[in-house]
Amino acid sequence: VQAVAGELAVDEYRGRVRPEEKGAAIGAWRATGLKVAMVGDGINDAPALASADLGIALGGGTDVALQSSDLALVREDLGGVLTAIALSRAVLRTIRWNLLWAFGYNVLMIPLAAGLLLPLGLAIGPSWAAAAMALSSVSVVLNSLRLHLWRP
């Protein structure tokens, strides 16, 4: 727990806490406005996993813990938390890029296809606009598929 907290630059953390103290600790941290992650694997962890901002169940845990969590680690290795965070950041970067691409495409191509820039001599026919839209969509999908190549 201490090693993962250090990697994540987490100031406050607790390990090996009794079941009745888990919910109280999470409630106290959340009451101060902190975002709280909880890692657990047993039935006694389920309420705390559900009440945390991010509940992380270890893969070998009970069904109740797995169902109460937001994220399930396949292996019982807390290093998986770091991998999940890195993957989440890569996904968010990809989403932002895809949104930027789609926005830029629409800002440029919709006025062209609608003929709004015809006074400037700029226009595109409906068939070319449809083809460009298809290519734009394919580029977003291909960019998203790059996540399959992601490695921690």
* SS3 state at 142: helix
Model confidence at 20: pLDDT above 90: no
**Residue 106: count of CB within 10 angstroms of its CB:** 13
Q: Which residue has the tokens 């070998």?
A: 60
What one-letter code names the amino acid at 136? S
What does the block give as tokens for 16? 């090996």
Cβ-defined contacts of 35-43 (< 8 Å, 24+) = 37/81, 39/1, 39/78, 39/81, 40/65, 40/69, 41/65, 41/76
Task: Give the chain's radius of gyration (CA, Å).
Answer: 23
C-alpha to C-alpha distances, 40 to 7, 46, 86, nearest whole angstrom: 19, 8, 20
pLDDT level of residue 32 (50, 70, 90 thresholds): very high
Q: What is the pLDDT of residues 76-133, one digit of tens each?
A: 888 899 999 999 999 999 999 999 999 999 999 999 989 999 999 999 988 998 999 9
Mean pLDDT over each residue of the chain, to the nearest integer:
92
What pLDDT score does 3 carry?
Answer: 85
Model confidence at 4: pLDDT above 90: no
Identify the CA nearest to 85 among candidates 11, 150, 2, 13: 150
What pLDDT score does 19 carry?
Answer: 84
Q: What is the pLDDT of residues 35-83, one digit of tens each?
A: 999 999 889 999 999 999 999 998 888 899 999 999 999 988 888 999 9
Q: What is the pLDDT of residues 141-151, one digit of tens each?
A: 999 999 999 99
What pLDDT score does 9 carry?
Answer: 86
